[in-house]
Structures are given as structure tokens and as C-alpha cells.
Amino acid sequence: MAAVALKNQLNAHIASMFAAGFLDKQFQELQMLQDDGSSPGFVSEVVGLFIDDAEKITGLIAGLLDQPVVDFDKVDALVHQLKGSSASVGAQRVKLSCEQFHSYYEAKNRDGCVMALALLRNEFYDSRSKFQTMFQLEQQIEACS
């Protein structure tokens, strides 16, 4: 059936995300929570929140870095928050790039921060597109069944 095929596709997709390091164990935990049945749609809800939140935060960081005088403490706080949320979701790559960012803003190195932000954003966009593919597949499965 189409649903089965879609499910297979979804699983494969998720597996590849794990393999590539986009996802980590935390995501599995969330999946288990959802699979228990008591929280349907939980994963997509949380991931959706994450995507919106991360989008906002990266935008804010970019804005801060554009200032003539960079407020590194704020940058620190934002990156910290993003790290927390990505860790909670299981978006591993994003989390790792947040950690890398840390050394740059510790050093109060604006250029370094700009670069780190660029990397971070890349990771985030990649993760986001993967997640979106995942959601589309899920929706299709939903539609089928």
C-alpha cells in the first residue's frame, strides 16, 4: 500500500538523519513518548516549535553581530538558548555548532562569531529541510490512512 511505502520511506529518511548526525538519542526519546500513544503529534509539535524558535534566534544573533559594537553577552545568551532547545529536540548538528560558536563569542571575536553563525545557520537550514521532509511524509501517511 501506499501508506506502507510511505512509512518505509519515512523510516529510511529518519534513519539517514540519524546516520548523518542530524538527530541523536533525544529524538528517539521523543519518538518513544509519541509512540506510547498518549501524545500523538508530539514530535511534530516540538520540532515545529524548535524550527520557529531557532529561526528567530539566528535572526537575532545576526542582528546583534551587525551592530557596531557587539554585545557578546546577549549573543552568548541566545546561543545558549538555542543550544538548549536543539538539545531538547535532538537536533544534534545544530547543537554541536552552537557549542562551536561558544569559543568564538568567548573570545569576543566578531569575525569569528560571524563565521560561526554562518555555520550554525547552515546546519540549521539543513536540519530544517530534513525535518520538513519528515513532516511531509508523515502527513502523507496520515492522508493515506
The number of residues making up the chain comes to: 145
Instruction: In angstroms, give the least distance from the CB of 83 to another protein.
Output: 5
Q: Which stretch binds another protein (CB under 8 A): 15-23, 25-33, 103-111, 119-127?
A: 25-33
CA pair distance 13, 75, nearest whole angstrom: 33
Instruction: In angstroms, give the least distance from the CB of 132 to another protein.
Output: 17
Instruction: In angstroms, give the least distance from the CB of 99 to another protein.
Output: 10
- Is residue 81 close enough to count as binding another protein by CB under 8 A? yes
CA pair distance 106, 52, nearest whole angstrom: 26
- Is residue 80 close enough to count as binding another protein by CB under 8 A? yes
Residue nearer to another protein on the CB measure, 5 or 49: 49
Which residues inside 27-46 make contact with another protein, applying CB under 8 A?
29-30, 33, 36, 38-39, 42, 45-46
Here's the x/- map for another protein, 82-121, by CB under 8 A: it reads as -xxx-xxxx-------------------------------
- Is residue 77 close enough to count as binding another protein by CB under 8 A? yes
CA pair distance 121, 77, nearest whole angstrom: 17
CA pair distance 20, 130, nearest whole angstrom: 11
Q: Which amino acid is residue 118, in one-letter code?
A: A
CA pair distance 30, 39, nearest whole angstrom: 10
CA pair distance 64, 42, nearest whole angstrom: 33
